[in-house]
Structure 1
Amino acid sequence: MSEFDELHAELRAVARDVLDRPVVDWRQLVDAGWTGLEVSDESGGAGASFVETAIVLEEIGRAAATTGYLGCALAVAALNAAAAADARDDVAGRIAAGETAALATGFEIHRDGTLSGRAEFVPDAAAADHLLLLARDERGAHVLATAPVTVTPQPVVDETRALAVVTADDVMPTTSWPIDGNVEALHERAAVAVACDSLGLAEAMLARTVEYTGVRHQFGRPIGSFQAVKHACADMLVQIAVARELVEVAVAEVATGDGAEVSSAMAKSHATSMAVEVAGKAMQLHGGIGYTWESGVHVYLKRATLNRALYGSPAAHRRALARRYGV
């Protein structure tokens, strides 16, 4: 057992309590200290690690909650990877205090110092108080910058997410900080963050399905007593158990900075695919009511489908693993 098990159990319990309501207000997340989990003590945060952030991400997925937390968590990670500076610490402190943030990647800095690029499907960018841009210069060095950009909301089927297109056309950065850390680690963290969300929503779908099949009667008995239904739920449980093992390994490696290239690809590819299958099976086992708007199963299925595509599809991650091992 880890020395932090009790702390993590308490964090999970608090998270479920905070998220157990129809509408989750951003201020509630701030008051719970989640926005400052990985912000340093000196900047007003908790100085925690990605392990704690992952617990919150999983519980947000379990509740299929509409929050701006994913963008905030990724932005804080990028700030932590940037070179130390008073301005950087000020932004981190503001995020810990409740200002919103998002991270857009894939930009370029030209020889004259201007910045350009386009990033699609950026979580929480439209409403962000601090929109951070990860850019690479002509020498291959990366910087974290802020700049005047155009943000266009990008509607998707999943209404629990707020995504946007961020574009910049030869604009001069307002501020910039060199990236001291491994830039690929930020991409790996984003993939694992979505895997955590998918793990939480899949467990919620299994729990809801088991409960429903225990009370829904057919031919004078609960449908959960039928062998086919038992097997379906058992298959869901096994898939979730495998995903949890993969996600926990990836979370630990991201948190320690040991290099999570393999574990993040494995966790993202399996967990997000699994969540779509589990949510789809949950809809099927709910019968006709599972296809209605009132059941709410569709919310989880659409969220799981979007998670599968965000930060690299399962096929893309598996191709990367295959190339790594020469397959």
Structure 2
Amino acid sequence: MTQLIVGKIGALAAEGIRDLLTRSLGGEPIARYTEQRLLEWATLREGGWDEIGVPEEAGGAGATLRDLAEVSMTWGEFCVPLPLVVTLAAKRWSPVAREHPGPVTVSVLSPVAGPLVPYGNEPGIRVLAGRNEFLESSNDGVADPFSLTMQPVAVEGSTTFDPVAARELAVLWAAEAVGAAKRCLRDAVAYAKERKQFGVPIGSFQAIKHRAAHMLELTERAETAVLWAAADDFREGAESIGTRRLVLHALATSREVVESAIQVHGGMGFTWEMGLHVYLRHVVALRELVQGLLPA
């Protein structure tokens, strides 16, 4: 039977990342830390977080894809605008990426906008051309403002992936979207317990109860899809229609959860300060990138 339970490395790493982000962000709303940096890449680098996915034979911690999926889900709950997830995947796959002390990203051929580099303007970032070389690109491109967290930059060339690398990055990006959905579900439930209409919490209304229950079902379905895609014996590769269906299902379902969370918040859900739109934009951007990684 496929083992879907997270390993010790994944559980400890996810707990560590959650603690780091909680301390670094200090409970600030997402709208603030997308505009003002509260966490620097150097902090992640000094903690060795960018190398936990490097195989043991290459001198790394040897975290499995299932472990990294757990870390990515935790990271997605905060949606910090730093390229940790893509760097984890890049350093797991590429020897030249492991030699670079800074963050590493990729160029994905988007079905909508052509080659896009997520986090393309992050200081010190390098863009992989393939497993053993970088693209010659500069950090002066104009970032797409739609995704406040990823801010992808259009470039000329795209990264050449092998099937396993494309599949693994797609799984981790889908896991990140699931984390965003879990966070939005949690925030929506907390809001429904506090917000009152007609003198009672809106969470006591049957319509809100049904919506919250459906959001929980969707979130669990999305997480299950990611875990199956990350399972060690699910190795059809990027060409597998099974992998593509699972990760796109997780992404579409996560988007539905975030949209429902906005509805639960009512008018407040559309405000800049609440920041739910940041999660929605992030999930939409992730889906576009995954479609480029795993074309039909």
1:205 and 2:210 are equivalent in the alignment: no
C-alpha contact (below 8 Å) 1:103/1:131 kept by paired residues: yes
C-alpha contact (below 8 Å) 2:6/2:70 kept by paired residues: no
1:266 and 2:245 are equivalent in the alignment: yes
Deviation at 1:289, TM superposition (A): 1.3
Give distance in 2, aligned partners of 1:267 and 1:4. 18
Match of 2:118 in 1: 123
* Cα shift readout 1:56-92 (whole Å, capped 9, x = no counterpart): 211111111111113312322431xxxxxxxx4xx35
Deviation at 1:216, TM superposition (A): 0.9
- The aligned amino acid for 1:17 is D
* 3-state DSSP of counterpart to 1:155: coil
Counterpart mapping for 1:14-33 below 5 A: 14-20=16-22, 21=25, 22=28, 23-33=38-48
Distance 1:2 1:104, change over 3 A: closer
Tell me: higher relative CO, structure 1 or 2? Use CA pairs within 8 A at least 6 residues apart.
Answer: 2
Deviation at 1:252, TM superposition (A): 1.5
Give distance in 2, aligned partners of 1:42 and 1:77. 11
* Cα shift readout 1:255-309 (whole Å, capped 9, x = no counterpart): 8755462342122211111122111111111112111111121111111221222
Within the candidate set 104, 108, 119, 2:107 is matched to 104
Deviation at 1:133, TM superposition (A): 0.3
Match of 1:133 in 2: 129
Deviation at 1:215, TM superposition (A): 0.9
- The aligned amino acid for 2:120 is A
Distance 1:3 1:211, change over 3 A: closer
Match of 1:145 in 2: 133
Match of 2:34 in 1: none
Distance 1:7 1:132, change over 3 A: closer
Query: Cα RMSD between the aligned structures?
Result: 3.0
Structure with higher Rg: it is 1
Identity of aligned residues (%): 28
Aligned length: 274
Distance 1:300 1:288, change over 3 A: same
Give distance in 2, aligned partners of 1:213 and 1:71. 34
- The aligned amino acid for 2:119 is D
Q: TM-score, normalised by structure 2?
A: 0.81
Deviation at 1:2, TM superposition (A): 7.8
**Greater per-residue strand proportion:** 1
- The aligned amino acid for 2:21 is L
Q: TM-score, normalised by structure 1?
A: 0.74
Match of 1:188 in 2: 167
